[in-house]
Structure formats: C-alpha cells, structure tokens
Chains A and B, each alone.
Chain A
C-alpha cells in the first residue's frame, strides 16, 4: 500500500509540473481536476486501509467530500467563469515556460534540502512524500506569481490548498475530521466568492488582466 501512496504522491507532483507547462485555461482546469482525483484516490486508499485496521471511516468520508467538491463542483464553477471571459490562452509571460519549469525543479530540490533535516520526518518513505507535498504548496504559490490572468490566480490558490491538504494527509495519516471539514467549507466559499468577483471584474473593466491593477496607483 505504501508503494501506491508513493506513486500517487509523485504523480500529484507531476501534475503540478504539467499545470505549470500549460498556457490554456481549459487545460489548467482539467489538470486541476486530475490532481484532485488523484488526491481523492490517495485519501481513499488510506481510508480503506484505516477501515481495515481500526474501523474508522473518516478518511473515506473525506475522500467522498473531495470528489464532490474538488473534482465535480469547483471545476464546474471555474468552467462557467471561464466561458464568460473572452481570453483562453495566456500569451505573454514574465519569464518563458522552460525557465518556469526549471524554477519548479529548484523548488523541489530546495524543499528537500530544507525539510529533510527536520526531526520526525526522517523516517524513510515518509520523507519523500512530505517533500513532494510541500513542494506542491510552493509550486502553487509560484504558479500564482507567474500568471497574469485571474483564472490562473484562482487555480494557483486551489493548488496551494491541495498541497496543504496532501501534506497533512501524508504526514499525519489524516487530520482531525472537524478540521478537514472546516477547510473544505472555507475553500468552497472562497472559490465561489472569487468566481463571482472575476465575473464582476470582467463585466466592469472588460478584462481580467491583473497587471492592469497597476493603473489604479496614485
């Protein structure tokens, strides 16, 4: 079982790299969906395992909630927002894509170096899963930095959320149930508000280019 979890942690990290390499908003949403599905799968595997060993089905409920919210509802919401906005491809970047991907690699190496000496994490296979998950948080933040349009920012925020959840899940075999649920409700409301805001911004200013916020200075 731990082999499957290792593989899933690596595949989740791989999906974040694919996210970084993409320029189209539809691919962003689709990749996010795949990432959420894999997280749900990991939670499901851990849930089944804990069901057999301890009889608790917290993680299975969490898995179902993830599927409901992150795999079905949030991408649906994002697609609606995306359909109302007229751009579909990010054309200009601050740095070009190969440099962004190399930056993500640096993030992974850096995470490895800074985390691997913490106590309690040095327990063999647990180590790499935690490194993968923490890098996911940082890559999500990096994604938010590198994109200029609003949908990119939302997806980046969601990836950070994913990363935090996966870190907690791998490091502690599941957080307390209440905390999990609280996080999900937070996430849901944040995304709904962001979605409405993007729609409104687009309506008012006819563009969702974040860079244009600079015009509001002074």
Chain B
C-alpha cells in the first residue's frame, strides 16, 4: 500500500483535501447519529467546505495547469485494484459542475432536512448523502477503468438507498426497484465493454492509447458503452426509471441526481468513446444524434402532460440530455469526417449545456422541494397562489424557469444558440443524409424548446399563480431563509452565465482544446475583458449584456414617456373579470390537465389518451359529482418492456424446473461436471 504522488501541484492538494472532507462528513454524520440537528449542520457544512475546495481545484486545473494531475493513493497487492486519481481538464470541468451544485444543495439541505428531525434517521441520510457525492467525485476523477467501475457501482447503490429513503410509500419502493434493475442492466453492458477493452489492450488504463483494439471490436465496445451510459443518462428508450426515481427521492437528492448524476454518463461517453476509442465511423455520430432527437422531443412531450411537479422536471431532464446528445452527435459526425472546427464547436455546445442544465435543473428541483416543504404535496392540481405566500422562493423559481425556457438573458439560451450554430456549420452542400438529418434536428430543437417553455409556464403558472386550489396551498408559508440562499446562488449563476457567456466559454474552450486540439476562441485576445465581448462564432455574434442594457433603457424611457403623457400612475384593485357571475372561485381557473389538453389532442398518436367519466347522482342535469379521469398510455412500458419482461419470466419459468430439480444427486452431478470441465480447460489452453 503506497501513496505515490506525481504532478500534484496546488490543485492536487486541494482535491485531496476535498476527498478527505467528504469522508469526514460521512463519518461525522455516523458519529452524530443521535443528535439530528447538529449532525445535519456539521455534515452539510463539511460538504460545503469540501465542495469549495473542489471548485478551487477544478478552476486551477482548467485555467492554469498544462498537464494532468496524477495522484496514486493506494496500490494494493490485489492486481489491478488501485485507487488511481487522474484529473485532466475534462474531469475538472465536471468536478466544477458537481462542486458548484453541491455547495448550493448542501446549503439548502441545512434547512430542508429539518423537516426530518425526530421522524427519520437523519444521520444515516447524511452519511449516504456525503458518500453519494464522494462516489460521483471518484467516478469523475478515476484513473483506471476498474476504479471507475467500482465508483460507478457505489454511486448506483447509494442512490438507490437515497431514492427509497421514504420507503413507506409504495410508489417509492417500486421506483427504487425499477431504478436498481435498469441501472444494473446498463452496468452489465459497461462491464462487457470494459472486458472487451481489456482483452485487446491488456490494461485498464483509459488514458493510454487504444490502438491495439481492432475496428470491429471498437464498434462493439461503442455499442456497449452507448447502452450502458445511455441507461444512466436516461435517453429514450432506456429512460423508464428516470421519471419514477427522481420524484421519489428527497428533493435535495433529486437535485443532485438530475443535476449531476446523469452528467456522469456524458463524462463517460466523452472520456471513453471520444478520447479513448477515437471516432472512426460516421454512424456512431448519427446514432447518437438520432437518440438525442428522439429523447428531446419525446421527453418534453411527456413533460408537458404531467401534473406531478417533480415528474415534469424529470421528463424535462430527459429532454435536456437529448439536447446534449444532439451536440455530441454533431461533434462525432464532424470528427469522423475530419471537420475539427465544427467538432470543437459542437463539443463546446454540449459541455455548456451540461453546465447550464446542472445549474438550472438543480435550482428547479430545490424549488420543488421548497414547495413540497411548505405544502406537503407535489401535485400541481392542489397548488396555486404560492407567489403571495412564498415570494422569495417564487422569484428564484421564476429565474430557474426562465433559464430552462431558453429566453434571452439567461444561460439556457446561450447553450441552445451554440447548438444551433453547430448545426448551422454542419450543413454544407454535398452530403445529403447528414444535411437532412441536421435540418430535422433544427426543427426538433425548435419544437422541443417551445414545448419546454410551455411546460415550465404550466408548472409555474399553475403552482405559483392564481388562487390556491386546496387548503395545503392556502396555508403555505415561506421556507427557511437558508433554503432560499442555496436556490438563489444557483439562479444568480444562471443569470451571470447568461449575461457574460464569454467568461464561461473561456473555461470550456480550454477543455475543448484538450479534447480536440482546437480552440474556437483561438484568435481573440483580451484576457479577462473577453468576458464582456459579444460571443462571436464565425461571424455570427450575440451580446446578451447589450440586449439586457437595451431592455432596461427602453423600460426606463417608456416609464418616463408614459408619465409625461398620462400623468401619475393610479391603480384600482378589483376582482378578475367574471362575466357578471360574482362567484369566481378557484375551481374556475385552468387546471394542469386542462392546460395540456390541446397538445394532448394534437399528439393523440403519441399519448393515446383514455378517458373515463363517472357521474353520480340521479338527476341528469344536476349531478352530484362528476369524476373525469384522463390518462396517457405508457408506450415504452407497454410495448417494449412489457413483452421483454414477460418473455424473460416465461423463459425462467420453463427452465426453472429443468435445472433446479431439488434432488441432491442432480446438484452433485453438476459439481462433478463443472470440476471436470475446468480441468479439461486447463489442459487445452
């Protein structure tokens, strides 16, 4: 067991400190298990400190370091089992995303977990929380494939326990079961990929060269990795666990899962497929692009018809992962055709969108958690009017909503713009299939963007605006301030990244430089002032800061002009227009189901809605109550997974009685035959 440190530098020390602090946080929460409040505060504060060290380490690595950081912690006597840490700029980028999110989520948790005091095992929760973050950190900085795999497994298992933390509700148990099965299917594919990799190169080092692997094996490894990482990322068709698991977990864990856990899959694809295998065929990129398109449009279509806040946000995560896959697909296609500038641009777009998604999805899940804390319900149909009861939360939630809708001063728009620009650069007269695919992607991105904006308007409008639809919502109060601080930091980062995209782009550009050898900011000089320049990609420039300045200027001018024309602002409050009814109640506003009805009808073929109406009461024209239920058919579960599961069950039933006969003699014969076979194998090889 020896500890070798190569090229550690300042960032290596910080990274080491960060790991140690996470371990302390986990240990402290176990020690303080009985005293809930202290445990919560201590553990989360240690996590915040650890994450701050992580931010510092990653920033130093991205901006100032030239080679990669290499720390060898353990070298045990078991061959191939060593804790090997290598952080290069790609890892540092994802560590930065993770750490920023952890700071804010931990701040939030200090307030959020307080509603578990005395009811559940807070110490166990914080232990699992800290270990979960640590496992994700190890996934991102692992230096060899075995350690990566172990960290991946630990991440999956701990997140299962976190998902079923509120285990008395049956839907949480079902969600956890589905999650653990799906993630292990994915991990199995990853394992096969790693095994094939080992059999050709005889090493698990993914920073080495992959030249020893022949092309057809690379194709197979690509497919294995795509399915394995795709399951974790939640792309269609292996997404069925995501809309159940993310809502079932407590909200701070949902924020982490949706914010950064699905990004570890993106990291995996970039690290293993792009850096290690190297893109050799165009069809790799085309497959990823098609998967991205399907995920984007189906994800947001399902999001739009949901009425559970967290499930809507989970489906929206599927959509955003689809957009990131679109960026990756374009990059891979460009790389396979030797077009490095487009490749660099597309990878920048994908990485920027990952960063943005972490920030805004994290803040939205934290907001959903605040709503749940205040009203104890996640169902939009029971909320309403929260903007008056929880003004600060509502304001920050609006910021997150504007980011996810990709409107101008926030960061969601910047990464969508970059994706559009990369698609624009891909379309050149010549290759017809790629061109048609690219323009279809533009159309799909546009529709997905508009539907995503509509879904978040539905979420915000129905939950926060209008009149409260139930007692829970009417009695809600503002959440503790520290929860709002956590959310507020994320939203302000969204706004800053949107106003000054060049600042973020400089960092991402260095990562792209490391990955593809090409920098899209290559010729611009100016140091830090670059942050204020308009973002210029091959002549098409946008400057969000100027636009915001213009907006502010116009608003000011308008206020002055109207004051001059119309005099002082006099306002009179009156009821909403009710057509003379005078009995406007909260039942008359639009409900979540009603809001999504037009789209449900337009896309009937996708949703296949079924409706049932139950009328009670004997008089036809004055019934006592009418119950109207409309449900969408879960297509993937019914037509893809249902038959698969049934086939597996039937097959198992059939061979169960052949193999497990219950007779001791059969089992002894099995052992005998196995020993004989092994001895024969030894002789033959």
Answer whether A and B touch in the complex at a CB cut-off of 8 Å: yes
| Contacts from A to B (Cβ < 8 Å) | 109, 112-113
Per-residue CB contact flags for chain B residues 414-452 toward chain A (1 = under 8 Å, else 0) read: 000000000000000000100010000000000000000
Q: How large is the interface on B (under 10, 10 to 19, 20 to 34, 35 or more residues)?
A: under 10
Whole-angstrom CA separation of A109 from B432 in the bound complex? 10
Q: How far is the CB of A171 from chain B (nearest CB, A)?
A: 21
Q: Bound complex: CA of A178 vs CA of B2, how far in Å? A: 96
Contacting residues, chain A, for B432 (C-beta < 8 A): 112-113
Q: In chain B, what residue has the closest Cβ to A112?
A: B432
Residues in B with CB closer than 8 Å to A109 are 436
* Residues in chain B near residue A113, CB distance under 8 A: 432
Task: Kindly list chain A residues whose C-beta atoms are within 8 Å of the C-beta of B436.
Answer: 109
Give the nearest-CB partner of A99 in chain B. Answer: B605
A180→B432 CA distance, assembly (Å): 36
Interface, chain B (partner A; CB < 8 A): 432, 436
3 A-B residue pairs with CB within 8 Å: A109-B436, A112-B432, A113-B432
Q: How far is the CB of A113 from chain B (nearest CB, A)?
A: 8
Chain B facing A: main interface SS: helix
Across the two chains, which residue of chain A brings its CB closest to B604?
A96
A118 to B240, CA, bound (A): 46
B609 to chain A, nearest CB (A): 15
- Residue on B with the closest CB to A98? B602
Query: Taking the nearest CB of chain B, how far is it from the CB of A107, in angstroms?
Result: 14
- Report the Cα distance A112→B432, complex, angstroms: 10
Please name all residues of chain B whose beta carbon is closer than 8 Å to the beta carbon of A112 when the two chains form the complex. Answer: 432
Nearest A residue to B436, CB-CB: A109
Docked pose: A87 CA to B566 CA in angstroms: 58
- Expressed in whole angstroms, the Cα–Cα distance for A112 and B436 within the complex equals 12
A113 to B436, CA, bound (A): 12
B481 to chain A, nearest CB (A): 50
A115 CB to nearest B CB, Å: 13
Nearest-Cβ distance from residue A21 to partner chain B, whole angstroms: 16
* Cα distance, A115 to B432, chains bound together (Å): 14
Closest Cβ of chain A: how far from B120's Cβ, in Å? 51
Q: B61 to nearest A CB, angstroms?
A: 47
A104 to chain B, nearest CB (A): 15
B153 to chain A, nearest CB (A): 44
Closest-by-CB residue of A relative to B433 is A113
Query: How far in angstroms is the closest Cβ of chain B from A121?
Result: 15
Closest-CB distance, A70 to chain B (whole angstroms): 34
Q: Looking across the interface, which residue of chain B has its beta carbon closest to that of A116?
A: B432
Q: Which residue of A lies closest to B605 (CB)?
A: A99
- What is the bound-complex CA distance between A36 and B255, given in angstroms? 61
* Separation of A109 and B436 alpha carbons in the complex (Å): 9
Q: A155–B432 Cα gap in the complex (Å)?
A: 33
The 3 closest A-B pairs by CB, nearest first: A109-B436, A113-B432, A112-B432
- What's the Cα separation between A112 and B435 when bound, in Å? 14
Q: How far is the CB of A167 from chain B (nearest CB, A)?
A: 22
| Whole-angstrom distance between the Cβ of B352 and the nearest chain A Cβ | 32
In Å, the complex CA distance between A9 and B432 comes to 21
Compute how far the CA of A4 lies from the CA of B432 in the bound complex, rounded to whole angstroms: 25
Give, as a whole number of angstroms, the nearest-CB distance from B434 to chain A. Answer: 14
Taken together as a complex, chains A and B put the C-alpha atoms of A61 and B573 apart, in Å, by 76
Give the distance in Å from the alpha carbon of A7 to the alpha carbon of B436 in the complex. Answer: 22
Distance from A117 Cβ to chain B, minimum over Cβ atoms (Å): 11
Smallest CB gap from A95: residue in B: B605
